Amino acid sequence: MSVLKVENLTKSFRCGGIWGGGVSHKAVDDVSFALEEGETLAIVGESGSGKSTTARLAMRLLDADEGSVHLLGEEITSTTGKELRIKRKDIQMVFQDPFASLNPRMTIVETVGEGLRVHHPEMSREQRRKKVKETLALCGIGEEALDRYPHQFSGGQRQRVGIARALIVEPKVLVLDEPVSALDVSVQAQILNLLKKIQAERNLSYLFISHDLSVVRHIADRVLVMFEGSVVEQGAVADLFANPQHSYTQDLLAARPINHPRERQQSATA
């Protein structure tokens, strides 16, 4: 059984026209995929391709115009309110910008523990604190961080906090929206390793949104390529990189930066 299955998702936004009217623009057009247990499915595409909108639809942060979302076999397409909040325990999100996604007025223990207040109201303050401590430790953040504020941390540490916040309610699926794009390459390596480790330990499924093909090749099992709202190609990561079928995928792969100056000639003539 797929842990997350979306079928024929479509979403339009209205652009322009301050007082209504304007042009309707299909941001996501008939997108379907299934995420299996323990796997990483990457959605790649450039800005405006609809990859983040797809993630938000799958998370039910946005309502689809058409199509359905199934989480752990149950349809959640039109679930709302308290019921949706309960279901969300199984699907959590990690955002791109670790500077914008943490509340600057909340301490780390409050931020990370917030999910527990919602999903485990029976836990005492001490129990919550203990659980936060364990989850932060899993993400490589020490106990001394508990009562500090986000501004006291570097980008990489904040992203670890963001991951801990998502993990604390023990979800089955993590939706990661460009989780390493804002990080330096050395920090990016640490976070990618951390994500791999946690996935192996907890048998988590990742929906990994990224524009960076090198990162995707490194971390994903399967890839879905989006262009102007539609899926143009999908497949196992090795196949897709070795033998891209769609011309857009080929262009994307050809546009990747080179790894050594000796490749310059090839890329100039390509």
Partner 1 sequence: MVEYSSGVNRSQSLELRELSLSVPIGGEHVEAVSGVSLTLKPGRVLGLVGESGCGKSLTAQAMLRLGEHQGVLRESGDILLDGDSLFSMSDETLRAVRGGHISMVFQEPMTALNPVFSIGSQITEVILLHLNMNNEQANVRTVKLLQDVGMPDPEAVMKQYPDALSGGMRQRVLIAMAMAADPAYIIADEPTTALDVSVQKRIIGLLLDLQRERNLGMLLVTHDFGLVAEMADDVAVMYAGQIVESGSVEQIFNKPTHPYTRALMGCRPEVSEPGSSLPVIGGQVPPPGSWPVGCHFAERCPLADTACFEPVTMDAWSDGEHRARCVHADMKLPELEAVL
Among 186, 265, 266, 269, binds partner 1 (CB under 8 A): 186
Q: Going residue by residue from 30 to 59, which x/- string records binding to partner 1, judged by CB under 8 A?
A: ----------------xx------------
CA distance 184 to 155: 9
Q: Which of 26, 218, 228, 235 is close enough to bind partner 1 by CB under 8 A? A: 218
Count the residues of the shown chain that bind partner 1, applying the rule CB under 8 A.
Answer: 38
* Position 255 contacts partner 1 (CB under 8 A): yes
Q: What is the maximal distance between C-alpha atoms in the chain?
A: 65
The whole-angstrom separation of Cα 230 and Cα 227 is: 5
Alpha-carbon gap, residue 117 to 166, rounded angstroms: 13
Note whether 213 binds partner 1 by CB under 8 A: yes
126 or 144, CB closer to partner 1? Answer: 144
Encode burial over 33-67: b for 16+ CB neighbours within 10 A, e otherwise.
Answer: bebeeebbbbbbbeeebbbbbbbbbbbbebebeeb
In this chain, which of 24, 152, 214, 247 binds partner 1, going by CB under 8 A? 214
Residue type, 113: G
The yes or no reply on residue 25 touching partner 1 (CB under 8 A) is no
Q: How far is the CB of 74 from partner 1 (least distance, A)?
A: 31
CB neighbours of residue 104 within 10 Å: 10
| Cβ at position 11, least distance to partner 1 in Å | 21
Reported residue count of the chain is 270
Q: Applying CB under 8 A, does 236 fall inside the site for partner 1?
A: no
- Return the residue of 26, 87, 196, 246 that touches partner 1, per CB under 8 A: 196
> Least CB distance from residue 211 to partner 1, whole Å?
7
Q: What is each CA distance from 21 to 14, 24, 145, in whole angstroms?
A: 8, 9, 50
The residue within the footprint of partner 1, chosen from 179, 237, 240, 244 (CB under 8 A), is: 237
Nearest to 3 by CA among 219, 212, 199: 199
Beta bridge partners of 43: 209, 224
Q: Does 259 bind partner 1 (CB under 8 A)?
A: yes
Tokens of 161: 């906090």
Strand order of the β-sheet with 23-35 is 23-35, 4-15, 66-71, 74-75
Residue 190 interacts with partner 1 (CB under 8 A): yes or no? yes
- The sign one gets for the Cα dihedral 86, 87, 91, 97 is negative
Nearer to partner 1, 92 or 159 (CB): 159
Minimum CB distance to partner 1, residue 42 (Å) = 12
User: Can you give the binding site for partner 1, defined by CB under 8 A?
Assistant: 46-47, 154-156, 184-190, 192-193, 196, 211, 213-215, 217-219, 237-238, 251-252, 254-264, 267
